């Protein structure tokens, strides 16, 4: 917004022409100068400068929003995109239904607290059929620490959903829905994501 042209802001032509004649073309150009510098450069009175800079500021600044209105917008947007329930009622309640779709969620904490196990469980839940509480979807598991364990996710699957995974081929079907990426660098990660 700082690079918005003054000529496109709807200032009165008389003052907009003065800004243009003095090569002050953008909001940034005008607002980077003090009121007294603008008075001298534009050869206008203080009242005109204050009025013009206030108008420019109001035009380029986003409207003020409260934290409550931002939260309400986020909740409304998330209702359209949905959530992946974690299976942990307290966490799901705090997250308004689970891990939200359409955003990057970063999981942080000290070593050994269960972050990897939690992510494995989420991958399992997302790949399960809907009639078992999953989404029947595909998962991209980004494993920068090489901690993804296919053996562990299979153990979790069989223990958590024995009725589903007792049938032959179901474990392989679930595993085929989880793509594990182990990028060594950010550029490798972006390259692989573009392929997918």
State yes or no: pLDDT of 75 exceeds 80: no
- Angstrom distance (rounded) from CA 85 to CA 98: 4
What are 37-68's pLDDT values in tens digits?
999 999 999 999 999 999 998 888 877 888 88
Its pTM surpasses 0.85: no
Is residue 17 very low, low, confident or very high in pLDDT (cuts 50, 70, 90)? very high
What are 76-92's pLDDT values in tens digits?
765 556 788 888 889 88
Question: What average pLDDT score do residues 174-187 get?
Answer: 87
State yes or no: pLDDT of 190 exceeds 90: no
Alpha helices in 23-149 (DSSP H): 27-31, 35-42, 46-60, 67-81, 89-94, 115-127
């Amino acid at each position: 917004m700082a690079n918005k042209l003054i000529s496109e802001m709807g200032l009165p032509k008389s003052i907009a022409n003065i800004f243009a004649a003095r090569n002050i073309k953008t909001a940034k150009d005008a607002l980077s100068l003090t009121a007294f510098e603008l008075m001298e450069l534009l050869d206008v009175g203080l009242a005109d400068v204050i009025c013009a800079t206030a108008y420019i500021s109001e035009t380029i600044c986003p409207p003020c929003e409260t934290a409550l209105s931002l939260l309400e917008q986020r909740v409304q947007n998330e209702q359209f995109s949905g959530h992946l329930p974690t299976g942990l009622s307290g966490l799901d309640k705090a997250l308004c239904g689970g891990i939200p779709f359409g955003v990057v969620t970063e999981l942080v904490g000290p070593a050994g607290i269960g972050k990897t196990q939690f992510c494995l469980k989420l991958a399992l839940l997302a790949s399960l059929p809907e009639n078992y509480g999953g989404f029947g979807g595909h998962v991209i598991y980004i494993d920068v620490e090489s901690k993804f364990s296919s053996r562990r996710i299979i153990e979790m699957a069989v223990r958590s959903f024995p009725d589903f995974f007792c049938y032959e081929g179901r474990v392989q079907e679930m595993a085929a829905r989880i793509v594990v990426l182990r990028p060594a660098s950010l550029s490798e990660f972006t390259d692989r994501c573009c392929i997918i």
